[in-house]
Homo-oligomer: A and B are copies of this chain.
Amino acid sequence: MNKGKLIVLSGFSGAGKGTVIKRLREKYDYSLSISATTRAPREGEVDGKDYYFKTVDEFKSLIDYNGLIEWAQYVDNYYGTPRKFVEEEMAAGKNVILEIEVQGAMKIKAQYPNAILIFVTTKDIETLRERLTSRGTETAEVIQKRISRAAEEAESMEAYEFIVINDDLETCVDAVNAIVVSESCKKENRTQFLIDIKRQLDEL
């Protein structure tokens, strides 16, 4: 059985990463890694679905036992990616998606050189602003903050191997899947196949 691939998805806040991931899972059966966090659950959030909610002690213990692929502290809370789920799913041949910001993505790539790093963006910044505004849930100040954040994130786009534009959702989802299929066709990922074919030809 071929090992599954690790797909790291980052992108501008407002580019629609969540929708892309939801559709990818429906259409192509990807596994989604769920983060661990020490922050309190919000209304409606479910443990094991939205996050694994941990105490600070539990989280630190995970760090000590190398149970997280990467972790970071924001304000007073810890966030991290549990190693067990990712490795078990990949071993079972499933492709696993991680939604994570740039620094985390770099840490993943350092440990899993075959991880596929994809940055999701709107087709332009005007569209990004419209999407953030049309949610209707954010104040003008919050929207401005996110746009400023996008400027920082744009600097990091160069670190990603692939840039996918989320203009039409289906096109975007198909493009992400195409990247994953394409990677599996790369010669470097066909080493065993090449060995087998040459052996079969030698035996003739």
Q: Is the CB of B158 within 8 A of A194?
A: yes
Verify A160–B187 contact, CB threshold 8 A. Answer: yes
List of B residues within 8 angstroms of A154 by Cβ: 197-198, 201
Residue from A118, A165, A177, A197 having most chain B Cβ neighbours under 10 A: A197
CA distance A163 to B197 in the complex (A): 12
- Are B178 and A147 interface neighbours, CB within 8 A? no
Binds B, one of A32-40, A67-75, A96-104, A119-127: A119-127
A181 at the interface (CB under 8 A from B): yes
Inter-subunit contact B201/A186 (CB<8 Å):
no
Q: Complex: how many Å from CA A181 to CA B154?
A: 23
Residues of A112-160 at the interface with B, using a CB-CB cut-off of 8 Å, are 118, 121, 124-126, 147, 150-151, 154, 157-158, 160
Query: A204 within 8 Å of B by Cβ?
Result: yes
- Contact across chains for A163 and B185 when beta carbons are under 8 A apart: yes
Contact A197 B164 (CB under 8 A): no
Interface mask (A164-191 → B, CB under 8 Å = 1, otherwise 0): 1100000000110111011101110010
Asked if A200 is an interface residue, CB under 8 A from chain B, the answer is yes
- A163 and B193 contacting across the interface, CB-CB below 8 Å: yes
Q: Would you call A88 an interface residue if the criterion is a C-beta within 8 Å of the partner chain's C-beta atoms?
A: no
> Chain B residues near A47 (CB, 8 Å)?
none
Beta-carbon contact of B163 and A190 below 8 Å: yes
Can you list 28 residue pairs at the A/B interface with Cβ under 8 Å? Answer: A121-B197, A124-B196, A124-B197, A124-B200, A125-B197, A125-B200, A125-B204, A126-B200, A147-B201, A150-B201, A151-B201, A151-B204, A154-B198, A154-B201, A157-B197, A158-B187, A158-B194, A161-B187, A163-B185, A163-B187, A163-B190, A163-B194, A165-B193, A178-B181, A178-B185, A179-B181, A181-B182, A182-B183
Chain A to chain B: the 8 pairs with minimum beta-carbon distance, closest first: A182-B182, A178-B178, A178-B181, A125-B200, A151-B201, A179-B182, A162-B185, A163-B190
